[in-house]
Amino acid sequence: MAADWLGSLVSINCGPTLGVYQGEVSSVDQSSQTISLRQPFHNGVKCPVPEVTFSAIDIKELKILDFRTGNGRTNSTASTKLGSAPVAVPKGDPRSVEKLNSPQHCSKSYGERHLDVPGQPKAFRRRHNSWSSSSKGPNQVTPKKNGVKNGQMKHRDDECFGDGIDDGLDTDFDFEGNLALFDKAAVFSEIDISERRNGARSRGTPQEQTPSRYRHDENILEAKPIVYRQITVPQPGAKEYCTDSGLVVPSISYELHKRLLSVAERHGLSLERRLEMTGVCASQMALTLLGGPNRFTPKNLHQRPTVALLCGPHVQGAQGISCGRHLANHEVEVILFLPNFVKMLDSVTSELTLFNKTGGKQVSSIKDLPDTPVDLIINCLDCHENTFLMDQPWYRAAADWANQNRAPVLSLDPPVSGQGQAVEAKWSLSLCLPLPLAEGAGRVYLCDIGVPRQVFQEVGIKYHSPFGCKFVIPLHSA
């Protein structure tokens, strides 16, 4: 019985310490329970000795890789094609060799029929690195794929590739014919009927039904129509403006504007408060025009912007000085031009005292103003009442310097149209409600100085704030 296994190719697993051996069975001794292999391989590497003998005690598992009979070789029980499990021989079983599968149950798979490599010994034609993965050692090389060479298959497996290609793949898909099977009108009609039954909005007549389902951006409550004229005045001015959101802001006459500020002062909004609010709003607008957060950073302290402030001896001049104080506090180089007068308003004197504490520069002569263009000019030379100032030499000299400096001009609280403006502005900032300004005022902005709503009502103005979340908003000609 043992002689039937001579010449067979087997794999012997001796555990993790001794490793795996493969080779051709040269002898089997049942009395001593030993088996010998010639031309052995240890963990995929050929052994230096021609023969190795194993005891049944050392054998953990024995697998038949290739069985040989008198008629030739047959397939091993570890064939992947047959799908049968490899023969496992228990440790210490004296009948380990005798209980192997009989040769009659072994057949050669397609893959092993083509794994014979010329040049190898007759009994060992299978490559050692192509044995089953369960018998691989730690140093064994991954087996190479057989059957594909230069993009072509050397051998065809009829069982795997025997079916012919479907002839229907050569026929082009008929898009028009299949599209004609889809009745679009009928499908959309069914959708409309289903939506009407569910109480949803119909696509054809949305006014007929009240919607029962809403999108995430729809309001459940019915929205009232937007009223864009929320400010009405007893005597509309010559112009009307509108905000970015479309609200109408009418202009008022200077007499109504003066009466509005007088009533606000009587209720506690003093001139000092108005000067402070005007200075803050004007400085915020100026800082935005100078570059905003893109310019006012710690890295740009060596490139501080320069602002020339042209002021007269009146309330508008005091507003400009307040603006200059806030700009100087924000690291802006402010050059204040104010002519010398024997007597000035108390508001101008108090604002000038605060400005001198900021380190800003004050000049009284046009010759002391810079010859090079500055970043911004803030014009506070004009006054609503004292138009005779335009005939003063210092006024004409300051206006000429501003027009020749080629710097953009911001006019603060400019007078109404008809009084004339010697300095052409790019922007103008009005207070509370705008006055009907001339075309030379440039783009008009409006600032909130904190006048309460009941003060507007007391002078006959129906008022709703157009500012929203801002204190300075742009106005557009309606």
Query: How confident is the model over 128-159, as pLDDT tens digits?
Result: 443 433 444 444 445 445 544 454 555 556 66
pLDDT level of residue 342 (50, 70, 90 thresholds): low
Residue 255's SS3 state is helix
**What pLDDT does 323 receive?**
97
- List pLDDT tens digits, range 52-95: 898 888 888 888 888 775 445 454 444 333 233 344 444 444 44
Among 29-38, 132-141, 302-311, whose mean pLDDT is lowest?
Answer: 132-141
Angle at 442 between CA 440 and CA 443, to 5 degrees: 155
The pLDDT of residue 159: 61
Residue 185 phi/psi, 5-degree rounding, is -65, -40
Average the pLDDT over 283-306 and give the result: 89
Backbone angles phi, psi at 443, to 5 degrees: -80, 130
Rounded distance, CA 423 to CA 409, Å? 8
The model carries a pTM of 0.55
Q: What's the confidence (pLDDT) of residue 189?
A: 86
Q: Quick one: angle between helices 315-329 and 346-356, nearest 10?
A: 20
Please tell me the predicted confidence (pLDDT) of residue 302: 75
pLDDT at 412: 95
Write down all domains in the chain, each with its CATH number in brackets.
Answer: 8-66 (2.30.30.100), 240-477 (3.40.50.10260)
Enclosing H/E stretch for 394: helix 393-404
Q: What's 378's DSSP letter?
A: E
Residue indicated by tokens 């509370």: 432
Displacement of CA 132 from its chain's centroid (Å) = 52
> Strands, DSSP E only, in 246-364?
248-250, 306-311, 333-337, 361-363
161 vs 140, which has greater pLDDT?
A: 161
Alpha-helix runs per DSSP H in 200-270: 254-266
Residue 210 burial (10 A CB sphere; 0-12, 13-18, 19+): exposed
DSSP-based three-state secondary structure for 62: strand
pLDDT at 124 over 50: no
pLDDT at 384: 84
What is residue 133's predicted lDDT score, i.e. its pLDDT?
Answer: 38
Six-digit token pair at 269? 């909004």
Between 56 and 428, whose confidence is greater? 428
pLDDT at position 191 is 87
Residue 262's pLDDT is what?
Answer: 95
pLDDT band at 328 (very low <50, low <70, confident <90, very high): very high
